[in-house]
């Protein structure tokens, strides 16, 4: 069964972070620059929260705050739910669904080594399902089985 480590091997281990005392405006600029929907909030190397587009929309815009004058710590989600590289993709999907979150930091020995998003997980599931469908079609049509998806 595929694991978080498989996703990170493909997408990479880059993690974009911000500090709790950064302005929301600066955090948003970094998110736009890196084209990501969330940042891990860290103190030193320790994750202390997640700041997402959802946090901004609900806790700044709708609350009548301004992004240059609001600190990330004031609106971040401070419950850090994380996974490890050996966490399976179905476990990630279940955790994201249960906790109603879209980003999971990946932590090994208290070190942040990556982030997986709901998009990463869904893409992986769709890719696996597509390969399985092709293999079943080949089997039914008598073309045999190939572990190499390019040979399907």
Range of the domain at 104: 4-142
Please give the tally of structural domains in the chain.
1
Q: Which residue has the tokens 């906790």?
A: 99
CA 71, distance to chain mean position in Å, is 23
Residue 147 lies in a domain: no
What is the reported pLDDT for 29?
97
In a domain, 150, yes or no: no
Q: Is residue 59 part of a domain?
A: yes
Poorest-pLDDT segment among 13-27, 112-126, 137-151: 137-151
Query: Which alpha helices (H) appear in the chain, and where do they start and end?
Result: 4-11, 24-34, 53-56, 72-75, 89-99, 118-140
CATH number for the domain that contains residue 62: 3.10.580.10
Instruction: Report if pTM > 0.85.
Output: no
Q: What band does 34 get if pLDDT is binned at 50, 70 and 90?
A: very high
Residue 149: inside a domain? no
Query: For residue 125, is it within any domain?
Result: yes
**CA distances, 40 to each of 29, 37, 71, 126, 140 (Å):** 14, 10, 14, 26, 47
Give the pLDDT mean for 110-119.
92
Look at residue 82 and tell me if it is in a domain.
yes
pLDDT at position 17 is 96
Domain-located, residue 148: no
Please provide the distance, in angstroms rounded to a whole number, between the alpha carbons at the two ends of the chain. 21
């Amino acid at each position: 069964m595929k694991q978080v480590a498989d996703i990170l091997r493909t997408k990479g281990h880059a993690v974009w972070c911000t500090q709790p005392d950064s302005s929301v405006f600066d955090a948003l600029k970094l998110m736009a620059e890196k084209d990501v929907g969330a940042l891990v909030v860290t103190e030193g190397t320790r994750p202390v929260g997640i700041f997402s587009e959802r946090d901004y929309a609900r806790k700044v815009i709708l609350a009548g705050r301004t992004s240059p004058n609001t600190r990330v710590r004031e609106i971040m989600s401070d419950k850090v739910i994380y996974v490890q590289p050996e966490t399976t993709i179905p476990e990630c999907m279940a955790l994201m669904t249960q906790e109603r979150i879209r980003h999971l930091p990946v932590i090994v020995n208290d070190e942040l080594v990556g982030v997986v998003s709901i998009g990463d997980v869904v893409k992986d599931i769709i890719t696996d399902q597509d390969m399985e469908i092709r293999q079943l079609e080949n089997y039914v049509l008598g073309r045999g089985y190939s572990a190499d998806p390019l040979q399907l």
